[in-house]
């Protein structure tokens, strides 16, 4: 749209310059209009870039936050797994200790029985 206005202003300048005694005024007006349009285009471009940067920053913050939450959950999950593994290992060790103790108790009873009946 800005280029259409610029083109229109240029045509008007050309038409005003043909046979007009105030062609310098028309040229100045066209230049001023062209500069105003260019300033507006530049400002719109800067505003759009600023908005794009803000949106990009917000999106990156959201991504970073989601990543942190995922890492926290993974760490929590890993801690739970480690705790469960330690509990399972301890339970297995307890069961093994109890089985060994039961075996030793049974062996002692056998030895005592052999001694008692063997005499």
pLDDT at 6: 47
Q: Nearest Cα to 44, choosing from 12, 2, 99, 79?
A: 2
Q: Is the pLDDT of residue 9 over 70?
A: no
Mean pLDDT of 77-104: 92
Instruction: Give burial (CB, 10 Å; 0-12/13-18/19+) of 30.
Output: buried
More confident residue, 62 or 14: 62
Q: Nearest Cα to 38, choosing from 9, 1, 2?
A: 2
- Do 57 and 66 contact (CB within 8 A), yes or no? no
How far apart, in whole angstroms, are the C-alpha atoms of residue 50 and residue 54? Answer: 6
């Amino acid at each position: 749209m800005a280029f259409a206005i610029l083109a229109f202003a240029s045509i008007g300048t050309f038409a005003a310059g043909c046979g007009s005694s105030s062609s310098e005024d028309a040229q100045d007006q066209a230049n001023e209009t062209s500069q105003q349009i260019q300033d507006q285009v530049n400002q719109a471009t800067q505003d759009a870039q600023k908005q794009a940067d803000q949106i990009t920053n917000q999106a990156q913050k959201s991504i970073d936050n989601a990543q942190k939450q995922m890492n926290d959950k993974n760490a929590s999950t890993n801690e739970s797994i480690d705790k469960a593994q330690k509990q399972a290992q301890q339970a297995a060790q307890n069961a093994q200790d109890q089985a060994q103790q039961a075996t030793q108790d049974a062996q002692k009873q056998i030895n005592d029985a052999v001694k008692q009946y063997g005499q």
